[in-house]
């Protein structure tokens, strides 16, 4: 194999980016757990379900959006269901699948967690980038995240 090794600049940028991918989610996740008792995964499930008008999302679509396996999301959803945050319902479009439904209690937990989460995102991320940098980051993130597998 003929490897096109990273230049020094490329390697430094890649290492800095990898560090950001570890540090920022870990710090925001700790803030979230401290402020609301939710994990980052809990918050992602709750906030994504809240985007739908009826607060329901097919498990297989939510798993794809989160880049999780259906099995992993199903196990996590079962734990969240045990806490009363979500319900699982049969999916009328997929006999083998289910819909995840954000309960009223789950929505209330999300409403209480969201203001704290926004403070964390602002203090740990947004306050450290300019408007131009934010626009550039959005373009880069979208372009790279939307690349096919």
Q: pLDDT tens digits for 36-85? A: 999 999 999 999 999 999 999 999 999 999 999 999 999 999 999 999 99
- Let me know if residue 10 belongs to a domain: no
CATH code of the domain covering residue 117 = 1.10.10.10
d(CA 14, CA 68): 24
Spatial CB neighbours of 81, under 8 Å, sequence gap ≥ 6: 87, 88
Query: Does any domain span residue 54?
Result: yes
84-125 pLDDT, tens digit each:
999 999 999 988 899 999 999 999 999 999 999 999 999 999
Quick check: is 4 in a domain? no
Q: What is the pLDDT of residue 105?
A: 98
Task: Give the model's pLDDT for residue 149.
Answer: 86
Residue 9 inside a domain? The answer is: no
Strand pairing category for 86-91 and 94-102:
antiparallel
pLDDT digits (tens, 9 = 90+) for 8-26: 999 999 999 999 999 999 9
**How many structural domains comprise the chain?**
1
36 lies in which domain range? 29-145
Q: How many beta carbons lie within 10 A of that of residue 113, not counting itself?
A: 19
Q: What percent of the chain has pLDDT over 90?
A: 96
Do residues 100 and 62 touch, judged by C-beta distance below 8 A? yes
Q: What is the pLDDT of residue 95?
A: 87
How much is the pTM?
0.90
């Amino acid at each position: 194999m003929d490897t096109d090794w990273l230049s020094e600049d490329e390697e430094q940028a890649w290492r800095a980016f990898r560090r950001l991918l570890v540090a920022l989610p870990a710090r925001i996740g700790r803030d979230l757990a401290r402020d609301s008792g939710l994990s980052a995964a809990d918050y992602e499930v709750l906030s994504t379900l809240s985007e739908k008008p009826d607060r329901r999302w097919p498990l297989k679509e939510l798993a794809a959006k989160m880049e999780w396996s259906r099995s992993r999301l199903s196990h996590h959803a079962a734990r969240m269901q045990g806490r009363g945050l979500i319900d699982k319902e049969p999916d009328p479009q997929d006999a083998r699948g289910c819909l995840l439904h954000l309960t009223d209690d789950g929505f209330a937990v999300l409403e209480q967690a969201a203001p704290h989460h926004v403070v964390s995102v602002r203090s740990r991320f947004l306050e450290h980038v300019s408007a131009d940098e934010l626009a550039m980051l959005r373009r880069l993130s979208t372009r790279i995240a939307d690349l096919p597998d």
